[in-house]
């Protein structure tokens, strides 16, 4: 499949810059389809990134306790056990994790949720894409912006 995405650079960074600088991302989502689409977009864009996944916030915190390497965390809002806001609050309450950057994603685009996510420590709030091309665009924009 050929990438049909208008994102080619961000703040002077090109895809080549990003490819040369490996990073880590944690995907926290209970929906296996969403995780698959994000992983597929990362693969299709040929991004050199270590991908970790957790199905809820509690699982993420367990992973972070073992691996404190700096990374970007992509957190779904609606998950069992610990939702996205609860996860953000737990991450940023721990001094060991305060250096992590996080993005809350949700099927909702409610302004109140966006404000709550940012107050809880998220660097950004994004609406989940509806189609696969939207996932490719979202992943490309995230990497251009944060890596």
Where do the structural domains in the chain lie, given as residue ranges? 13-94+103-146
Residue 26 has pLDDT above 80, yes or no: yes
pLDDT at 18: 42
pLDDT at 55: 96
pLDDT at 21: 46
Q: Return all residues near 105 (Cβ < 8 A) that are at least 6 apart.
A: 29, 74, 75, 76, 77, 84, 125, 126, 127, 128
Range from 1-5, 100-104, 142-146 that averages highest in pLDDT: 100-104
Backbone angles phi, psi at 128, to 5 degrees: -65, 135
pLDDT at 16: 53
- What percent of the chain clears pLDDT 90, i.e. is strictly above it? 70
Residue-by-residue DSSP string for 43-108: HHTT--EEEEEESSHHHHHHHHHH-----EEEEESS-SSS-HHHHHHHHHHSGGGTT-EEEEEES-
Tell me which of 145 and 16 has the higher pLDDT. 145
Q: Return all residues near 2 (Cβ < 8 A) that are at least 6 apart.
A: none
- What percent of the chain clears pLDDT 70, i.e. is strictly above it? 85
Tell me the pTM.
0.83
The sign one gets for the Cα dihedral 100, 103, 106, 111 is positive
Question: What mean pLDDT comes out for the span 63-78?
Answer: 90
Q: How confident is the model at residue 67 (pLDDT cuts 50, 70, 90)?
A: confident
Query: Would you say domain 13-94+103-146 falls under CATH 3.30.70.20?
Result: no
């Amino acid at each position: 499949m050929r990438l049909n995405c208008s994102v080619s650079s961000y703040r002077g960074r090109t895809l080549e810059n990003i490819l040369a600088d490996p990073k880590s991302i944690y995907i926290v989502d209970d929906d296996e389809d969403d995780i698959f689409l994000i992983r597929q977009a990362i693969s299709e864009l040929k991004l050199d990134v270590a991908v970790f996944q957790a199905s809820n916030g509690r699982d993420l915190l367990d992973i972070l306790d073992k691996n404190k390497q700096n990374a970007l965390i992509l957190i779904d809002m609606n998950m069992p056990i610990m939702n996205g806001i609860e996860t953000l609050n737990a991450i940023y309450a721990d001094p060991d994790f305060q250096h992590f950057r996080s993005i809350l994603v949700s099927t909702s685009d409610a302004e109140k949720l966006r404000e709550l996510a940012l107050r809880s420590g998220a660097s950004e709030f994004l609406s989940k894409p509806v189609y696969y091309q939207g996932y490719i665009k979202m992943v490309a924009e995230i990497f251009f912006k944060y890596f």
